[in-house]
Homo-oligomer: A and B are copies of this chain.
Amino acid sequence: MEGKFAISESTNLLQRIKDFTQSVVVDLAEGRSPKISINQFRNYCMNPEADCLCSSDKPKGQEIFTLKKEPQTYRIDMLLRVLLIVQQLLQENRHASKRDIYYMHPSAFKAQSIVDRAIGDICILFQCSRYNLNVVSVGNGLVMGWLKFREAGRKFDCLNSLNTAYPVPVLVEEVEDIVSLAEYILVVEKETVFQRLANDMFCKTNRCIVITGRGYPDVSTRRFLRLLMEKLHLPVHCLVDCDPYGFEILATYRFGSMQMAYDIESLRAPDMKWLGAFPSDSEVYSVPKQCLLPLTEEDKKRTEAMLLRCYLKREMPQWRLELETMLKRGVKFEIEALSVHSLSFLSEVYIPSKIRREVSSP
């Protein structure tokens, strides 16, 4: 499923939407229930042997909706309502957020999740991505470093001031003329770490691009990272807190998310390396005892569930070892705990030494 659609494809998509709605109308006119089949996708399962098909972006099953059963009728109704709004957006060449769409028929939609699922159904049905429907998410990411690009004609010259944060563009498909002198891309989980690196002028001494999604990454940030990887072919490293939430963020960047599994090939960063922080780092970099916080019951449950994911068994057994170490020790810590040595320990010691030893990192 090629993520990038040119203008011609959006006219083509409009035509396909018309053809589809016409076929539904014809079915109804001829007294037949329309039959809408929606492929099912997933990016992992709990198969103990991990000899499943999850790593491929092919469908793993199919649902067929007709008007014979009430829940399916409701799902078709929601799909058609959202499709009508999408058609209007495409015709008027305008963009809307999922929230905007919910508020156009709040009584029918009842909850934001209903709209989100309908948008997913439409993307699967027409084999496209959300932005092809002119549905945009609020961008949350920041980028800085050895990079220049344009977004819909607007110039973003991060090179011009290496330690300035620029917002990751919302209309990622309109990014072009990507030029970089970087040697690698560093993705950091948190904005406080991003700000710390900016304050330390990290990009002055390290020829790289730094990106943050400010926590759990939004679609624009993941799509932008994927685009940079496709165009620049640079190694990508990820720095997250040593806790289950940090690991979930790392796994989402690397393996994609279940909700967007249908669009995995345009959103995940397949060769991303985990730079840290590892549970084992707490000794190597002598993180003080009081910065090691006990895992909560919720932390343990989440970690145990993550250990069962097929993609870890199949592709990253070393990551599983570190997760098991975290469970055994029963403690977690934030990246900032490393600043206990000095304010710029992260920029001057930890990250550079990890990148140099990148070959040995899992």
Residues of A within 8 A of B (CB): 89, 94-97, 99-100, 102-107, 136, 138-139, 142, 151, 153-155, 160-161, 164-167, 170, 191-192, 195-196, 198-200, 288-291, 334, 336-340, 343-344
Contacts and interface: CB of A to CB of B under 8 A. Distances in A.
Contacts of A94: 199-200, 343-344
A132 to B, nearest CB: 16
Contacts of A338: 103
B139 A165 contact: yes
Contact of A343 (B100, B200, B340): B100
Contacts of A336: 99-100, 102-103
A291 B111 CA distance: 11
Contacts of A334: 103
A73 B339 CA distance: 26
A266 to B, nearest CB: 21
A167 B170 contact: no
Chain multiplicity (copies): 2
A339 B195 contact: no
Nearest to A134: B199
B199 A136 contact: yes
Contacts of A136: 195, 199
Contact of A138 (B96, B155, B192): B192
A352 B184 CA distance: 47
Contacts of A89: 343
Contacts of A102: 336
B106 A340 contact: yes
A191 B154 CA distance: 20
B154 A161 contact: yes
Contacts of A95: 199
A257 B88 CA distance: 44
Contact of A191 (B138, B198, B339): B138
A142 B167 contact: yes
Contact of A167 (B151, B161, B167, B291): B167
A290 B97 contact: no
A291 B195 contact: no
Nearest to A142: B167
Given A138-B191, A191-B138, A291-B106, A96 B167 contact: no
A15 to B, nearest CB: 23
The 4 closest A-B pairs by CB, nearest first: A154-B161, A107-B290, A103-B336, A103-B339
Contacts of A200: 94
A284 to B, nearest CB: 18
Contacts of A340: 103-106
Nearest to A291: B106
A199 B98 CA distance: 13
19 contacts: A94-B200, A96-B196, A97-B196, A99-B192, A99-B336, A100-B192, A103-B291, A103-B338, A104-B343, A106-B337, A106-B340, A107-B288, A136-B195, A138-B191, A138-B195, A139-B165, A154-B160, A165-B167, A170-B195
A139 B198 CA distance: 12
A195 B218 CA distance: 15
Given A106-B290, A154-B160, A199-B136, A339 B165 contact: no
